[in-house]
Amino acid sequence: MDYLKIFVNRIGRKQEKYEQMDKKQTGIVLGVVLIVILLFCKPFVERFTQQKHTDRITKSIILKDKKQAFMIKEGKTKQLKIKPEVKEGEKITWESDNEKVASVDEKGMVMANQTGSCNISCYTQKKYKDTVQIIVLDKETFIYKNGFSMQVISSEMKNRISGKSYKKNPNIQYSDLRYLSMAYYNFNGQVEIGEMIVNKEIAKDVLKIFYQLYKMKYPIEKMKLIDEYEADDTASMEDNNTSCFNYREVAGSEHLSKHAYGCAIDINPRINPYINNKGQLSPKNGKKYKVRDIGKCKGKYKKYMIQKNDEIYKLFLRHGFTWGGDWYTMKDYQHFQKPVQ
């Protein structure tokens, strides 16, 4: 019996030992599993915390029109300033995402190095961040207002438009044209920078007109060179694109359009369609806007239609333009033109 007790006791001690070992092994396994879970979850946790951090650091602290880029001529400088509410003496870090275009020193002085665009960012000790776009223009560029500039047709621009909006002809040369860059409010109330090529004789008038439209927050859906549509006027109109120069004939005729001379501008053409004397309109997807009475029109953007004696009408007429909506035999509600010598 004593041997049996000793044997049972030994069995019991071994069982306790195994149980202790099982607990220890279980603890190790659970620890490993926990580590794996933490490692797996870490990217998601970091992403979440980073998102919260990102949301926290987007405070606007640079003094600027936050909806508009700064234009600087090549070789010039511009001092960027911080809003007064940012504490004096707080460490501020400035940096450029493309120093070849524009660099910035520790005090926010921007140096325009070459033509192009880049973003200048500003950080503070409190992790606040702000960014502004810098557009560096050629030395010969005429800047009317920030966001509104005029340039001669560069070699790069010639390559963009040659064979498309511009074709070899005896009537108008590259030297007769000017490239405009202009800010505008789109249909979502956001500011964008548009492009337009016009005759040099009306270039300053156009800058002044579109600057006033910008101040009025007059909505323009798009403002691209018609070359983005392979110089296809119908495609541009259907996309409600505001444009000017396109060396082409009047549709259905052998006569050159005023657009061929860069002295006619089409504004939001889908909601201001062309209607001929047979009632046919262009673009066809502007059918809802054939009805010009705002009270009866079913179009979503009917309040943006150009009307006789409204602000845009008066603005263009003050600068010597005439409106296609005043024509008798046909109506071209999108169209403003000004004669050039």
Residue 171, C-beta contacts closer than 8 angstroms, at least 6 positions apart: 256, 260, 261
Residue 172, C-beta contacts closer than 8 angstroms, at least 6 positions apart: 199, 247, 260, 261, 262
Could you give the CA distance from residue 260 to residue 33 in angstroms, rounded to a whole number? 73
Phi, psi for 186 (deg, rounded to 5)? -85, -175
Report residue 17's pLDDT band, with 50, 70 and 90 as the boundaries: low
- Considering only 83-87, 164-168, 304-308, which range has the smallest mean pLDDT? 83-87
Tell me what pLDDT residue 182 has: 96
* Ranges in the chain annotated CATH 2.60.40.1080: 70-137
Greater pLDDT, 206 or 123: 206
Q: What DSSP element (H or E) covers 35? A: helix 2-56
Report residue 54's pLDDT band, with 50, 70 and 90 as the boundaries: very low
Could you give the CA distance from residue 204 to residue 77 in angstroms, rounded to a whole number? 25
Taking CA atoms, 183 is separated from 18, 152, 158, 230, 287, in Å, by: 79, 19, 22, 23, 29
Taking CA atoms, 117 is separated from 136, 138, 298, in Å, by: 6, 12, 41
Report residue 37's pLDDT band, with 50, 70 and 90 as the boundaries: low
Residue type at position 223: M
Classify 145 as helix, strand or coil: strand
Which CATH fold topology does 70-137 show?
Immunoglobulin-like (2.60.40)
> pTM of the prediction?
0.75
* Average pLDDT over every residue of 225-239: 98
Greater pLDDT, 88 or 231: 231
